[in-house]
Amino acid sequence: MTGEDIINLIKRDKKMMSIIFRASDLGLKDWFIGAGFVRNKVWDYLHGIEKEGVETHDIDLVYFDPNGNNEYADDKLSQQLKVETGIDWELVNQSYAHVWKNLPPYTSTEDAITYWPETATCIGVTLDEKKELKLIAPYGIDDLVNLRIRMTPKFPEGVERVKERVKNKKWLEKWPKLKVTY
């Protein structure tokens, strides 16, 4: 499976594309929808699970704008999107998110997600200037498409937190072909 295959998989999903276009309508800078939105779709596909849309706890819409929203404004917009769509959204300006983990300031959205827990989670989609789907994967897609769960080198909370995520999210029950390599 290639990056283009992932893009095409998402393009064929009307529910996912409607969420992506709604995110685009917000006019945020350096934005994308990441984490489970893309990861779960790929893992479903590779496990032969075909359905429209994707099951995820929430829509992780991240962006980077030093002059953009603060945490309060992002929370308010997240609630507004939930009311509009019936889906939980977690909208976060990465220009302030580094303080939650006591990290140096991020330089972009892509820089920020390199600190997310698993390489397969560090993936997202956005629309370019031509409204074409674009994949973002700072650690590449190899672990994602080969069904490997591996901690990113920058994740500040450590391997025990990743193990906890795997257990609490029941990933190995949902997707039994996953290989945990921490």
- Which DSSP string corresponds to the chain? --HHHHHHHHHT-HHHHHHHHHHHHT--SS-EEETHHHHHHHHHHHTT---SS---SSEEEEE--TTS--HHHHHHHHHHHHHHHSS-EEEEEHHHHGGGGT-PPPSSHHHHHTTSSBTTTS-EEEE-TTS-EEEE-TT-SHHHHTTEE-B-TT-TT-HHHHHHHHHHTTHHHH-TT-EE--
Q: What pLDDT does 77 receive? A: 97
Q: What pLDDT does 50 receive? A: 86
Q: What average pLDDT score do residues 20-26 get?
A: 97
- pTM, to two decimals: 0.94
**All structural domains of the chain with their residue ranges:** 3-180
Is domain 3-180 annotated with CATH 2.60.290?
no
Q: What pLDDT does 63 receive? A: 98
Q: What is the pLDDT of residues 42-97, one digit of tens each?
A: 999 999 998 876 676 789 999 999 999 999 999 999 999 999 999 999 999 999 99
